[in-house]
Structure 1
Amino acid sequence: MKETDLPYLKNTVSDLPLMTDDAIKDQFLSTGQIRKHKKGDLIIVAGQDSYEPSILLSGLIRVFFLNVEGVDVTNLFIFENTYYGSDFLTMKKASVCSFEALEDCVSLVLDRQVLNETLQNNIHVLLDYTRILEQSLNNKILRENALITKSATERYLDLKKTYPHIEKRVSQTHIASYLGITPVSLSRIRRVIREEN
């Protein structure tokens, strides 16, 4: 990593978990690598690539898988200042999902060994890491619950509440896939909401 990148990166990641201690932040930044991906690039291919502990600094990533019929299903959107690969940050294990850059992306890839050693030697970083995992698990449970207990309209409104500008950044096809509906159904839901308002 270039020395000139460090002040920008320190400022960008300073509020993130794992990065609250200056010495540890410096260690993660000095051993990490900046990785760039163009819109449309596959960052991780399911079954082929392992997760690398990363922070998305800019851009937007879609996580998806193919169901038994071979249909592309969006599982997650990763926005700026978010760790990704959080379920396998410390393990070198093949991903079960593919990751696609929906915009030009810049990520900070952390050194897995440095992260592991820091987690073993610093209780504060370990607690931050635990909170990241708990938040990831909580989001997964809430999403699964919503797919079972909420209507498509409720899921759409929840998504818009969580990410108010998502429709400016994500195609209707990917949003519909995430909601578990067709793009035609999503158009119908949006039309009904507009007419009601």
Structure 2
Amino acid sequence: MPSAQDIRAWCRVCKADEQVADLVATVRARRHPAVAPELPDSWWQAMVRSLDALVVSRPTRVATVDSTPITQERISAAVFGVFGDVDTEVVVWGGVHADLNWANVTAPELSILDWEDYGRGPVGLDHASLWSASLAVASLSARVEAEFADILSTPTGRVCRLFYLASCCRSLLITPERCARPLKSLRRGCSARLGNASVPGADLVDR
């Protein structure tokens, strides 16, 4: 699934800049559904098994997110830029898909598509990516969080969630309310001082 940066580049080459907004909106709608898909328990079980197997794979390259390598420095810069002074150390690394969202999976039988970003990354990156892509639908994000609680609740899993939440906040892919509520729960698990002033909807965080 192309990133917004990819779409802008393609439209520039094709001299179709007027189509950028519509194409970006279409891609974002597929990545971040407004309605929860109906998925059998077997689908979720297959996803858990797939990500468990992926984590212990041995990629020979660094994973990329939006075509840029995912490194400790990039994660820290992204989180600091939105949330301020936060502990962002990634302590567990493994194989990751690095672009796991609802546009890159099939149902009712699970297949995971678009492997061009696959590589070594923080364990929890894929789980957090799917979680952040689900935040527009409370029941869906809750299901993702429940299915992957063992990973998302780890220190590295929480850092990955902050990384994607920072991206959502910057691009306003989700409403301030949707951003603030998961942030409130993440604050409890991070040894951090999250600067409310820089967070969209920050006035809601402590409610």
Same-fold call, TM > 0.5? Answer: no
Structure number with higher helix proportion: 2
Q: TM-score, normalised by structure 1?
A: 0.27
Structure number with higher strand proportion: 1
